[in-house]
Structure 1
Amino acid sequence: MPEPVFNPARHRLEHDLSSAEFESGVEAGLWRLVSLDWPHLIAAVTAGDGQELGMRFDVENYPGTAPAGQPWDLENAEPLQISRWPTGGSSAQIFRPDWSPSNGNAPYLACDRIGLATHPNWANDNANRAWNSGRTIVFYLRQLHHELRAAHLTQQEPA
């Protein structure tokens, strides 16, 4: 059986997921790791109402390339229906039904790969919130959690 090929992006992400910084967010109840099936990371971020928003990230070429996130249905392992996206607070500016669906359901954030690709000026205009190769997944999760502080999530109707 051939030796597995070393993947520096995966190695770096696994390092960041085991960092004290990531674990402190887990212990504080801000987020949690759901799974890592390279190159997809699934995490749950706590919203203001205490419910969790699932997020699926494409982390290919991490950290040189920003993660590409999308709201994720943790129960059904599929993109979260728009009707269940976060509402309240600033979440409507981040999870935008007028922009996100045509952009892979990406959050409208300067730390997201799709946001940066569609708004090349963001890296300079929003440097304090924009992704760069010195950032970690914790930076992205903090940005999401910050925007979800006053948000609430719509629960799926029972079948």
Structure 2
Amino acid sequence: MIADPSIARVATDLEQGDFLSGCDAGRWRIVSYDFPILDFAISATEPDGAAREYGFRADLSNYAAQAPMVRIWDHERNAPLPSDRRPKGGARVEKTFQYWGDDTVYRPWDRKTGPHGNNAAAFPHLAWNPERRLVFILEDLHGILNSNARTKNLRPSA
């Protein structure tokens, strides 16, 4: 039997120092992993400054040759997170976690979003390529989910 090279690549990504540092710092955590499905959670800051965590499900079939397909996920219900419970905040937050036809996170590195509206070509610095690692996705999502903290800190106090 020939082993799927995608499994080895995911294992390598999950053992990288920057991935483990993010786990240790509480930026993200693995909820479960059974190839090709990786369930994870990322810490977030709500518009009111409250800390929260959001769940995600990634389909890593044919990783890393094919981009991951990532959905915002309700791990308790084992289903996509309903629109009314998705992150709120600035335009970048709203766009990323909007409900759209394929209902994946709306980022150029996503398997479904990259080709949609030519996103990967329009944003090559955010497009998936086989040299990228899982931490690229986690860092991007963490940055978006915590952009509310930066916005809140920039607002003048009353």
Q: What TM-score range do you get, normalising by the shorter chain?
A: 0.7 to 0.9
Q: Could you tell me the TM-score, scaled by structure 1's length? A: 0.84
1:50-65 mapped onto 2 (5 Å cutoff): 50-65=51-66
User: Do residues 44 (structure 1) and 41 (structure 2) align?
Assistant: yes
Aligned partner of 1:127 in structure 2 is 124
> CA–CA distance in 2 between the matches of 1:151 and 1:36?
29
CA contact (8 A) 1:56 1:70 kept: yes
1:72-111 mapped onto 2 (5 Å cutoff): 72-89=73-90, 90-97=92-99, 100=100, 102-103=101-102, 105-111=103-109
CA contact (8 A) 2:83 2:98 kept: no
User: Do residues 113 (structure 1) and 111 (structure 2) align?
Assistant: yes
User: Do residues 31 (structure 1) and 36 (structure 2) align?
Assistant: no
1:123 Cα offset (Å)? 2.7
**Aligned-partner SS, 2:115:** helix
* Aligned-partner residue type, residue 108 of structure 1: Y
How many residues matched?
A: 144
**Aligned-partner SS, 2:84:** helix
* Aligned-partner residue type, residue 96 of structure 1: Q
User: Do residues 146 (structure 1) and 147 (structure 2) align?
Assistant: no
- Work out the percentage of aligned pairs sharing the same amino acid: 35
- Structure 1 residue runs of 5 or longer lacking an equivalent are 153-159
CA contact (8 A) 1:44 1:53 kept: yes
CA contact (8 A) 2:6 2:62 kept: yes
Q: Could you tell me the TM-score, scaled by structure 2's length? A: 0.84
- Structure 2 residue runs of 5 or longer lacking an equivalent are 150-158
User: What CA RMSD, in Å, does the superposition of the two structures yield over aligned residues?
Assistant: 1.6
1:125 Cα offset (Å)? 2.4
> CA–CA distance in 1 between the matches of 2:117 and 2:13?
27
> CA–CA distance in 2 between the matches of 1:11 and 1:119?
32
> CA–CA distance in 1 between the matches of 2:61 and 2:138?
17
1:151 Cα offset (Å)? 4.8
> CA–CA distance in 2 between the matches of 1:53 and 1:151?
14
Aligned partner of 1:155 in structure 2 is none
Large movers: runs of 4+ above 6 Å: none
